[in-house]
Amino acid sequence: MLLTDTHTHLYYETDAAKRAALMQRCVENHVDRLFLPNVDAESVAKVFELTVAYPANCYPMLGLHPCSVKEGWEEELATVVNAKGDHKIYAIGEIGIDLYWDKITLEAQVTAFKKQIAWAKELKLPIVIHCRDAFNEVFEVLEQEKDDDLRGIFHCFTGTLEQAEKVIALGFYLGIGGVLTYKNAGLDKILPEIDLQHIVLETDSPYLTPVPYRGKPNESSYLIYVAQKVAELHQISIETVAEITTQNSKLVFGV
């Protein structure tokens, strides 16, 4: 069985021994592929450090998180873009719009989002979208930017079935994580209506920890609990969930 965590910030753990333990628990739980989105200029080095340390397991992305779109964001984005150097990256992310924390920066967030979509198209890479309290705003941008090169993942999807269908119709995958295991989140009512060909699995560790560890820091090894919930809802084996969602991750990331 091979599980793929398509979205983890495991690089936040900088203690080598603790990081090694995190990676070992991933192996024990069959989570052997980890995709790492950075969030700002400072986190780029941490992402590359982890991917160099674990080249068989870790795959880097680059992007400027919408919550990092503040005064001087153009310079910070330029730093992120230039940081790529000769490194191979597998997506531009995480990028998008977040209106939960700050609605004042919407215009700047949209501009940053569009610039990074253009960068992804130039590199022929998928995008990984952060969308919080901003589905309509994100979708408006995607409709404007829609072409054969626009593809990727709606990270941490928690929307309605109608929204899921719109994402799928655009050719994007739904990133399903720990929220699926939350009793009153409602995602468990929607997921059985969605074909597994349209989803990938993620943790967003150290955030959004699934049951039974909710309330504690998340880690990529806990992806197995998300996979188990998907299997339960679709009434199939966890091995089948792993096979389909990992294959989906290979299609979107090209590796």
Residue 254 near residue 17 (C-beta atoms within 8 A)? no
Write out pLDDT tens, residues 99-113.
Answer: 998 889 999 999 999
Residue 2 identity (one-letter amino acid) = L
CB-CB contact of 204 with 248 (8 Å): no
> What is the tens place of the pLDDT at every residue in 127-171?
999 999 999 999 999 999 999 999 999 999 999 999 999 999 999
CA atoms 104, 106, 107, 112: torsion sign: positive
pLDDT tens digit sequence for 40-76: 999 999 999 999 999 999 999 999 999 999 999 999 9
Spatial strand order in the sheet of 199-201: 92-98, 127-132, 152-154, 173-176, 199-201
Amino acid in position 222: Y
Lowest mean pLDDT among 15-19, 20-24, 102-106, 144-148: 102-106
Residues 6 or more apart in contact with residue 131 via CB below 8 angstroms: 96, 97, 98, 138, 154, 155, 156
pLDDT bin (cut points 50, 70, 90) of residue 177 is very high
Residue 247 is encoded by which pair of tokens? 């294959």
Q: Which helix H or strand E contains 59, and what residues bound it?
A: strand 58-60
pLDDT per residue over 195-237, tens digit each? 999 999 999 999 999 999 999 999 999 999 999 999 999 999 9
Classify 186 in phi/psi space as left (phi over 0), alpha (psi -120 to 50) or beta. left
Closest CA to 107 of 134, 125, 126, 143: 134
Residue 101: predicted pLDDT: 85
Can you list the domains of the chain with their CATH numbers?
3-253 (3.20.20.140)
